[in-house]
Amino acid sequence: MTKLSFITRLPIAHRGLHNADENIVENSKGSVLAAIKHGYAIEIDVQLTKDNQAIVFHDENDNLYY
The residue segments making up the domain with residue 16 are 11-56
Q: Does 64 map to a domain?
A: no
Is position 63 within any domain?
no
62 Cβ contact partners less than 8 Å away, ≥ 6 residues apart: 27
- At 15-63, the pLDDT tens digits run 999 999 999 999 899 999 999 999 998 998 888 888 999 888 766 655 5
For residue 26, is it within any domain?
A: yes
pTM of the model: 0.68
6 inside domain: no
The predicted structure's pLDDT at residue 17:
93
Query: What mean pLDDT do residues 4-18 have?
Result: 83
8-40 burial by CB neighbour count: b if 16+ within 10 A, else e? eeeeebbbbbbeeeeebbbbbebbbebbeeeeb
Number of domains the chain is built from: 1
